[in-house]
């Protein structure tokens, strides 16, 4: 099957020819007719299989020219980097079409984006938070939305965007086509489907645990973080083989720590992205890595999810993900578009259970390699790697016997209050022989007569 079999229009064929694409991926071929028909659809496919083109080709084929100001297509993605990437992909496809595309996301001046929205657009790509802010400001009108696309929906729900998504659904027209793409089908995704989609057609190309055949996987057993760093330096010194590498880490703190250690060896070859970095820094790092100015990219899971970076030679997992699906998303950064790729997994003794879960999900064992002799085994440990020692004779710490117990004395009489309801004020009046309210003249007169 080729793109010619999909009955696209000439401008789209010209754009695909410029990109050098002739054959659709399985998800693109399966989803095309369903999206074109206007039915709700859920597409499940592994990362790197061309999901963006899978929904954009049929949408652009049927999107007629219009001068109206309000957008007709809304695409929601979880991260700012994905907004930029999806806009770039759409611009490639609309090279010969007069279509107005805009991407909006947080962390930048909202007034600039309001001005861009006011100029009019056809397709809006946005993160949920910034979209809702623009909608509340009344600058962005969503009454003309015909198609709603939610991309990487599993990540969006993991990041806690469910509440924002529901708010957005409330301000969208009820009559619309819902298109959702995800790498995994989780319970949260299923709940969202049942609540807001109308009998969606499901297209599943590969089970989330199915390893990509064109990715060669290997692993090392490594005792601690600093030994992992030593192994990483040894591996990355082979710049010819490891010419474009993404190193995945579990969190921002480790990302910064690893960047410091690798910066001693690789300097200008290295860049890093995580959510604490400024937007310009993150976009610049991705662009430099994509263009080949930097050879090594250190990234957290969320930041690199869904990013389409061509010709990544290797993915190295500095740690073993707790969730096996995350491992699949990581290694999917290499071996994209049916190219060959390699993935390396580093695991400590504590991470072996997580590694076994990954192998169980994939229904295969990852071949283990011996540590090279020249790699130094470090005895230096991170704070979280150190064994917590119980201090038996620490004079500043009290034993349970010395800990203060509950109070043993009775409360004073004035603190033993009784809730007497409405009768309380009458008891007070009787006790003090005066009205509780000074302004009660009749009460004062009665007391004087007595």
Cβ atoms of 306 and 152 closer than 8 Å: yes
- Cα–Cα distance for residue pair 75/166, rounded to 1 Å: 15
Residue 422, pLDDT > 90, answer no
Q: Which residue has the higher pLDDT, 271 or 213?
A: 271
Q: Does residue 211 register a pLDDT over 80? A: no
What integer pLDDT is reported at residue 448 of this predicted model?
A: 55
**CA-CA-CA-CA torsion sign (442, 444, 447, 449):** negative
**Over 90: is that where the pLDDT of 190 sits?**
no
Does residue 223 surpass a pLDDT of 90? yes
pLDDT at 397: 61
Q: Average of pLDDT values for 185-200?
A: 80
For the chain, percent of residues with pLDDT exceeding 70: 83
- Give first-to-last CA distance, the chain, whole Å: 108
3-state SS assignment for residue 381 = coil
- Average confidence score pLDDT of the chain: 85
The model carries a pTM of 0.71
Q: Which residues contact 420 (CB under 8 A, 6 or more apart)?
A: 427
Res. 315 pLDDT band, cuts 50 70 90: very high
Query: Which tokens belong to 345?
Result: 């997994």
Reported as a single tens digit per residue, the pLDDT across 270-306 is: 999 887 888 788 888 988 998 999 999 999 877 666 6
Kindly report, residue by residue over 350-376, the tens digit of the pLDDT: 999 999 999 998 889 999 999 999 999
φ, ψ (nearest 5 deg) of residue 168: -70, -40
Q: Quick check: 133 pLDDT over 60?
A: yes
Per the CB < 8 A criterion, the answer to whether 315 and 344 are in contact is: yes
Alpha helices (H) along 94-143: 110-118, 128-136
Backbone angles phi, psi at 174, to 5 degrees: -65, -35
pLDDT at 183: 75
Mean pLDDT in residue range 324-346: 84
> Regarding predicted confidence, which is higher, 206 or 105?
105
Mean pLDDT score, 12-33: 92
By mean pLDDT, which of 3-17, 95-109, 310-324, 412-426 is the weakest? Answer: 412-426
| 93 token code pair | 């496809």
Tokens representing 363? 């229904």
Which residue segments constitute the domains of the chain, with CATH numbers given? 3-204 (3.40.50.300), 215-385 (3.40.50.300)
Distance (Å, whole) CA 200 – CA 178: 8
Average pLDDT of 235-250? 94
Q: Does the structure show a pLDDT above 90 at 446?
A: no
DSSP state of 318: S
Please report which confidence band the pLDDT of residue 87 belongs to, taking 50, 70 and 90 as the band edges: very high
Question: Using one digit for the tens of pLDDT, what is the confidence trace for 151-184?
Answer: 888 778 777 788 888 899 999 999 999 999 887 7
Rg (CA), the chain: 31
């Amino acid at each position: 099957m080729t793109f010619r079999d999909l009955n696209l229009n000439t401008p789209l064929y010209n754009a695909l020819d410029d990109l050098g694409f002739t054959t659709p991926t399985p998800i693109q071929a399966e989803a095309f007719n369903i999206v074109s028909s206007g039915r709700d659809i859920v597409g499940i496919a592994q990362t790197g299989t061309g999901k963006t083109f899978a929904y954009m080709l049929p949408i652009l084929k049927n999107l007629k020219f219009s001068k109206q100001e309000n957008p007709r297509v809304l695409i929601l993605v979880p991260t700012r980097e994905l907004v930029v990437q999806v806009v770039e992909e759409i611009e490639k496809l609309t090279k010969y079409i007069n279509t107005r595309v805009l991407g909006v996301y947080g962390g930048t001046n909202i007034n600039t984006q309001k001005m861009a929205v006011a100029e009019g657009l056809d397709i809006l790509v946005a993160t949920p938070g910034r979209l809702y802010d623009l909608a509340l400001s009344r600058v962005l009108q969503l009454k003309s939305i015909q198609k709603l696309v939610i991309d990487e929906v599993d990540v969006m729900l993991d990041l806690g965007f469910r509440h924002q998504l529901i708010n957005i659904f409330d301000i969208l027209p009820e009559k619309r086509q819902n298109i959702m793409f995800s790498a995994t089908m989780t319970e949260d995704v299923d709940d969202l489907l049942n609540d807001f989609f109308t009998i969606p057609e499901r297209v599943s190309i590969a089970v989330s645990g199915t390893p990509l055949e064109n990715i060669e996987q290997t692993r090392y057993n490594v005792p601690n973080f600093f030994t992992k760093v030593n192994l990483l330096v040894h591996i990355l010194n082979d710049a010819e083989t490891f010419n474009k590498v993404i190193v995945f880490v579990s969190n921002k703190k480790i990302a910064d720590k690893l960047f410091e250690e690798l910066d001693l060896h690789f300097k200008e070859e290295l860049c890093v992205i995580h959510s604490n970095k400024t937007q310009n820094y993150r976009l610049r790092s991705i662009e430099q890595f994509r263009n080949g100015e930097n050879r090594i990219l250190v990234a957290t899971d969320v930041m690199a999810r869904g990013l389409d970076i061509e010709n990544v030679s290797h993915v190295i997992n500095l740690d073993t993900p707790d969730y096996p699906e995350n491992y699949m998303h990581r290694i999917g950064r290499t071996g994209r578009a049916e190219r060959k790729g390699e993935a390396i997994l580093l695991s400590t003794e504590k991470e072996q259970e997580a590694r076994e879960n990954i192998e169980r999900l994939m229904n295969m064992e990852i071949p283990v390699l011996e540590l090279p002799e020249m790699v130094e085994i470090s005895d230096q440990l991170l704070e979280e790697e150190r064994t917590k020692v119980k201090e038996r004779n620490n004079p500043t710490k009290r034993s349970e016997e010395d800990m203060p117990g509950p109070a043993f004395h009775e409360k004073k009489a004035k603190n033993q209050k009784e809730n007497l309801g409405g009768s309380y004020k009458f008891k007070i009046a009787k006790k003090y022989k005066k009205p509780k309210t000074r302004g009660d003249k009749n009460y004062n007169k009665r007391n004087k007569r007595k």
